[in-house]
């Protein structure tokens, strides 16, 4: 029986220590002479939903209020015979430890305390970790091309990117991207092999971008280096995301972002009369508030991405003379290549094709928070991102079809058994389902999806001039063309 009790307590303490997305307030209470005050009541109230927590200072006058959700708080300190102290607009962010040293004056002395919330810098002396918070205001107002959460990682010390700031090319303090760990409300949110949401088998980035819609993100914290032992599953950056929840007031938003080729200049290698078409709409909204004030809250959001883009391909293709010399079994397959325009090489033509690259993505989320009383509370959250993208592969009309279905869910039950003992039971689900398939058009009644055609001795890309280095194929080369099943 003793062993079972110790094990249960260990599990409770471990669960409390492992919460990387919550915050806490610690500090001391003393009188005007500097003497510590034991037994002072410290009440912390969430100003968004009215949830209260009350603790008492210990023999050394110290207090600890842990497992607080990132939010805006009011702190009140009372002790018999002394004037109470009250602090309004105390902001807590994910993973933050806020230190408050309170001085209570005698009841005969009138003290007025004005507290300005939203300090620019709050020094965290609880750990030697290196990292930073991206708060609610920055998430909501910073302009981002594509509204991808990962682009905000670059605000944190130690972050660097080798590309456009997508999930799959950001690393921290020189460590590999695959070692990053991403969590939503404490629940794992990475792909199975690679840390990038929506990544395919650790190799291919999908191009889908709403795996974590900004409309559903309240704030997040990144630990880039020297983080404590409670973090694990990776040696790279530790990203802890806090999703939005409802409050005692109704709040909502609507948005629509538009891009169009009318605003674009032509690519240098695009020799067509006009730029490749582009139509992009990124739209959505959110709404949250109370179902029962002070008790039950909801928050829901939606974001959609509809992109109709095109990619310009310029490739070398066999000329009519080369096709005529090809072996009979191969000749029907060459119709997959456009004829193109003649060049100075009699065996090679130059073809230009603009391939369709559409992206459709829809993201939705729902969260419920239920305050049973000041000691027990429930939270449940679910979001789902369904996307499909098409990526053209060349002038033959071949393309890759990429589909992704990301789901993440959380159910949490927090129990404040007494002011010094808190237990949180949390269940989570993370389902990063991705698929990629190659698609090829039928040519002369033949399905080329499982066939590859290789030409020996030629190379041409849209970034090389016609006089660039390449081998000139002879007539024997064209007779050595072969087809093989993939």
The residue-averaged pLDDT of 32-52 equals: 90
The residue-averaged pLDDT of 418-431 equals: 88
pLDDT in tens, 401-415: 888 888 999 999 999
> Which of residues 369 and 17 earns the better pLDDT score?
369
* pLDDT > 90: percent of the chain: 26
Mean pLDDT of the chain, nearest integer:
79
- Range name among 286-290, 316-320, 367-371, 468-472 with the lowest pLDDT average: 468-472
Q: How many angstroms separate the CA atoms of 20 and 241, rounded?
A: 9
- What pLDDT, on the 0 to 100 scale, is given for residue 58? 92
By three-state DSSP, how is residue 249 classified?
Answer: coil
Going along the chain from its start, the domains and CATH numbers come out as 13-104 (2.60.40.1120), 127-242 (2.170.130.10), 244-486 (no CATH)
Q: How many angstroms separate the CA atoms of 406 and 379, rounded?
A: 21
The residue-averaged pLDDT of 195-200 equals: 60
Instruction: State how far the alpha carbon of 29 is from the alpha carbons of 105, 119, 267, in Å.
Output: 11, 22, 66
Structure tokens at 139: 């998430």
Q: How many angstroms separate the CA atoms of 411 and 132, rounded?
A: 27
- What pLDDT, on the 0 to 100 scale, is given for residue 287? 96
Of the pLDDT bands very low, low, confident and very high (cuts 50, 70, 90), residue 9 is very low
By three-state DSSP, how is residue 175 classified?
Answer: coil
- Range name among 89-93, 153-157, 455-459, 472-476 with the lowest pLDDT average: 472-476
- What pLDDT, on the 0 to 100 scale, is given for residue 40? 93
pLDDT at 461 over 60: no
The residue-averaged pLDDT of 451-480 equals: 41
DSSP 138: H
What is the greatest pairwise CA distance in the chain? 107
- What pLDDT, on the 0 to 100 scale, is given for residue 384? 92
> Which of residues 317 and 116 earns the better pLDDT score?
317
pTM of the model: 0.76
- Count of CA atoms in the C-beta half-sphere (13 A) of 164: 9
pLDDT in tens, 143-191: 887 788 888 888 888 888 877 667 777 888 888 777 888 889 988 887 7
Q: How many residues are present in the chain?
A: 486
pLDDT at 60 over 60: yes
pLDDT at 242 over 60: yes
pLDDT in tens, 468-478: 333 333 333 33
pLDDT in tens, 368-393: 999 998 889 999 999 999 989 888 88
> Which of residues 336 and 408 earns the better pLDDT score?
408
pLDDT at 466 over 50: no
The residue-averaged pLDDT of 418-433 equals: 87
SS3 labels along 93-120: CCCCEEEEEEEECECCCCCCCCCCCCCC
pLDDT at 89 over 50: yes
- What pLDDT, on the 0 to 100 scale, is given for residue 205? 64
């Amino acid at each position: 029986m003793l062993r079972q009790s110790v094990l249960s307590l260990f599990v409770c303490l471990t669960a409390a220590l492992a919460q990387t997305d919550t915050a806490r307030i610690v500090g001391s209470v003393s009188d005007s002479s500097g003497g510590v005050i034991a037994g002072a009541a410290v009440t912390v109230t969430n100003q968004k939903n009215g949830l209260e927590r009350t603790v008492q200072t210990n023999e050394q006058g110290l207090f600890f209020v842990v497992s607080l959700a990132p939010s805006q708080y009011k702190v009140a300190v009372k002790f018999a015979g002394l004037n109470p102290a009250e602090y309004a607009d105390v902001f807590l962010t994910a993973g933050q430890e806020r230190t408050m040293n309170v001085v209570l004056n005698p009841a005969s002395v009138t003290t007025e305390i004005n507290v300005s919330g939203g300090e620019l810098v709050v020094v965290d002396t609880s750990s030697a970790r290196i990292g930073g918070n991206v708060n609610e205001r920055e998430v909501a107002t910073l302009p981002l091309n594509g509204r991808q959460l990962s682009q905000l990682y670059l605000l944190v010390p130690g972050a660097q990117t080798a590309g456009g700031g997508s999930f799959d090319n950001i690393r921290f303090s020189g460590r590999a991207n695959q070692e990053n760990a991403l969590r939503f409300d404490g629940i794992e949110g990475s792909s199975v092999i690679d840390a990038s949401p929506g990544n395919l088998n650790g190799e291919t980035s999908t191009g889908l971008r709403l795996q974590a819609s900004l409309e559903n993100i309240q704030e997040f914290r990144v630990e880039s280096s020297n983080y404590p032992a409670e973090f694990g599953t990776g040696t790279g950056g530790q990203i802890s995301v806090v999703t939005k929840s409802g409050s005692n007031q109704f709040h909502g938003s609507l948005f629509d972002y538009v891009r169009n080729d009318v605003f674009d200049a032509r690519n240098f290698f695009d020799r067509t009369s006009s730029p490749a078409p582009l139509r992009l709409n990124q739209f959505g909204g959110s709404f949250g508030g109370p179902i029962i004030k002070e008790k039950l809250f909801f928050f829901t959001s939606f974001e959609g991405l509809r992109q109709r883009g095109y990619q310009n391909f310029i490739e070398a293709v066999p000329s009519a003379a080369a096709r005529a010399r090809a072996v009979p079994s191969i000749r029907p397959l060459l119709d997959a290549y456009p004829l193109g325009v003649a060049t100075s090489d009699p065996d090679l033509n130059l073809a230009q094709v603009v391939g369709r690259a559409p992206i459709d993505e829809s993201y939705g989320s729902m969260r419920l928070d239920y305050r049973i009383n000041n000691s027990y509370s429930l939270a449940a959250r679910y979001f789902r991102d369904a996307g499909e993208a098409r990526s053209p592969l060349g002038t033959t009309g071949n393309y890759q079809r990429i589909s992704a279905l990301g789901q993440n869910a959380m159910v949490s039950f927090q129990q404040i058994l007494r002011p010094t003992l808190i237990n949180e039971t949390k269940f989570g689900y993370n389902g990063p389902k991705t698929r990629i398939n190659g698609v090829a058009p039928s040519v002369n009644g033949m399905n080329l999806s499982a066939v590859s055609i290789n030409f020996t001795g030629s190379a041409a890309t849209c970034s090389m001039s016609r006089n660039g280095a390449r081998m000139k194929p002879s007539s024997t080369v064209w007779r050595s063309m072969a087809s093989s099943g993939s």
